[in-house]
Amino acid sequence: MVQSTPSPDTTGTLARRGLMFILSSPSGAGKTTIARMLLEHDPQLRNSVSCTTRQPRPGEIDGEHYHFITHEQFDAMVEAGEFLEWATVFGQSYGTPKAQVKAGLKDGVDYMFDIDWQGTQQLYQKLERDVVRVFLLPPSIEELRRRLTGRGTDSAEVIHGRMERARSEISHWDGYDYVVVNDDIASCFEEVKKILHAERLRRARQTGLIGFVRELMQPDD
């Protein structure tokens, strides 16, 4: 219930519930790049740091890109119900820890999720109204292969596996609210920013509106 006079704050914004911004794509289509650009550009957005059992890639920092944990630790967290969702990808386990996100949403913090379609489905089933699902597609399969090779982080065998999987990941495109083709990086970034902006304006997320509108409708003295 709103108690005090609920006018917009000094930045002109009303109280708002946070949202869960899910960015998925076939591996190599550019979700990490776009996610990083969004996080740098937008201080209201925080990264949801997943746990994974895979090894860190060069340059990846524990606690920032992922929480790198053992299979035993992962299984114990599953057992204790500490994940909002989890999935097995390329034979490794990935999961979204629950605690931080649930508290943050209430305080109007938006979270970015770089997760696959399985995790997206699980989050949508649990928290449908908080979830915004965005899927990035590569402009072509040849370009996807070029990007995976150009990234220089994986062996030829791993790239072959990722290309195989990319085809099946692409088949889940229709489980998303928005689909953006990541051809030119700057245009893709602009489109994704627009989606985020519009979703923040959804009436149901603007929890401060009820009191604000009530105030606007007060009869004159």
Tally of helices (H runs) and strands (E runs) in the chain? 8, 9
Contact window for ligand ADP (CB under 6 A) among 43-51, 81-89, 182-190, 202-210: 182-190
Residue 44 CA: distances (Å) to CA of 36, 37, 136, 205, 221: 14, 13, 22, 15, 39
Asked whether 45 and 38 are in contact (CB, 8 A), the reply is yes
Which of ligand 5GP, ligand ADP, none sits in contact with 101, Cβ below 5 to 8 A by type?
A: none
Supply the minimum distance, in Å, between the C-beta of residue 167 and ligand ADP: 15
Q: Say which DSSP state 201 is in.
A: T
Residue 119 binds ligand 5GP (CB under 6 A):
yes
Paired strand residues for 158: none
Q: How many Cα atoms sit within 13 Å of 70 on the Cβ side?
A: 3
Residues 128-147 that bind ligand ADP (CB under 6 A): 147
172 binds ligand ADP (CB under 6 A): no
Q: Judged by CB, which is closer to ligand 5GP: 36, or 54?
A: 54
Among 182, 192, 206, 208, binds ligand ADP (CB under 6 A): 182
User: First CA to last CA across the chain, in angstroms?
Assistant: 24
Helix axes 31-41, 185-200, angle to 10 degrees: 60
Sign of torsion over alpha carbons 62, 65, 67, 70: negative
Smallest separation (angstroms) from ligand ADP to the CB of 28: 5
Considering the rule CB under 6 A, would residue 159 count as an interface residue with ligand 5GP?
no
* Position 130 contacts ligand 5GP (CB under 6 A): no
Within 29-88, the residues that bind ligand ADP by CB under 6 A are: 29-33
Q: Which residues bind ligand 5GP (CB under 6 A)?
A: 24, 27, 50, 54, 85, 87, 89, 94-96, 114-116, 118-119
